[in-house]
Amino acid sequence: MTVYLNGQFLALEDAKVSVLDRGFIYGDGVYELVPVYGRRPYRLQQHLARLKRSLAGIRLTNPHTDAEWEAIISELIGRMPFADQGVYFQVTRGVAKRDHAFPAGVAPTVFMMSNPLVLPSHEQIERGVAVVTAVDERWLHCDLKTISLLGNVLARQLAADAGATETVLFRNGYLTEASASNVLLVRNGVIVAPPKDNQILPGITYDVAFELAREGGLPIEVRPVSKDEALAADEMWLSSSTKEVLAVTALDGRPFYGGKPGPVFRKVHALFQASKTA
Ligand SMILES: Cc1ncc(COP(=O)(O)O)c(C=O)c1O
């Protein structure tokens, strides 16, 4: 498998980073994951805009222009033997003697790889998936897509331990998001989701879901959602670049609402599938 590291396309085995890289030592970096359908990156501009926002949020200079990012991504996509891909890339603050404060004059480390895009199975789409719930114990910059993911990793493991797909998080009694997805709800036919503040990642799929819902004439509300309200919702969905939109049909070991994906989910899921080839 070919990967990209600091200006070069290399075999995965030959791509080496120093143990002093601040990504390794501090988790000091940001990342993106862009889904690719039929060799075409989906919503690339939005992902590059979010990357810029994350970089600015950790005070790291963007090492590439959008045109350069696009060229590297497209070169890597072309080198992969599969059509549907997940392009992962990260930028760290580079290699320096260990000291918390930013090093001066250090080049960032840029790494990119592309894996086959593993989408939800037919069964997961048709039957929905199980989630567990937990308290959101992460920091207060969840809007930045940083590689410091320990809080998300620990949350996600709770789902793995329970044989569930995701862990849905609540902070101070309010819904934030899940360990690697956004969470949207349906109440009385209205799609409801928490606002894109500092407590959640501004998901590209979350935006797409709202955009498609708007175009499809479905009512939408963006506002804080209490845990009680979330648990009483008619439908709950996960959204992410690899899950697309996925219905939640079991929560903490009990069937969620009807125990099967709801009608609003089916509409938005169909609109999403159509948007992939539009
Ligand atoms: C914590 C978290 N929230 C939300 C998302 C969904 O973002 P996107 O739709 O851009 O993939 C992700 C994606 O990996 C995530 O890690």
Give how far the C-alpha of residue 119 lies from the chain's centroid of Cα atoms, to the nearest Å: 13
Catalytic residue numbers, as ranges = 145
Per-residue pLDDT, 184: 98
Per-residue pLDDT, 257: 84
Per-residue pLDDT, 179: 98
Give the model confidence (pLDDT) of 219-254 as tens digits.
999 999 999 999 999 999 999 999 999 999 999 999
Per-residue pLDDT, 19: 98
Per-residue pLDDT, 137: 98
User: 2-116: which CATH architecture?
Assistant: 2-Layer Sandwich (3.30)
How far CA 119 is from CA of 116, 125, 166, 172, 239, in Å, comes to 9, 10, 15, 32, 12
User: What is the pLDDT averaged over residues 57-80?
Assistant: 98
| CA 59 to ligand 1 centroid distance, Å | 21
pTM over 0.75: yes
| CA 247 to ligand 1 centroid distance, Å | 16
Q: Domain ranges for the chain, please list them.
A: 2-116, 122-277
Is the CB of 241 within 6 Å of ligand 1?
Answer: yes
Q: How confident is the model at residue 55 (pLDDT cuts 50, 70, 90)?
A: very high
User: What is the pLDDT averaged over residues 73-97?
Assistant: 98
Per-residue pLDDT, 124: 98
Whether 95 has a pLDDT exceeding 90, the answer reads yes
* pLDDT > 70: percent of the chain: 100
The closest of 41, 47, 43, 129 to 77, measured between CA atoms, is 41
Per-residue pLDDT, 65: 98
Whether 203 has a pLDDT exceeding 90, the answer reads yes
Which residue, judged by its Cα, is nearest atom 4 of ligand 1? 181
Domain 122-277 class, CATH top level: alpha beta
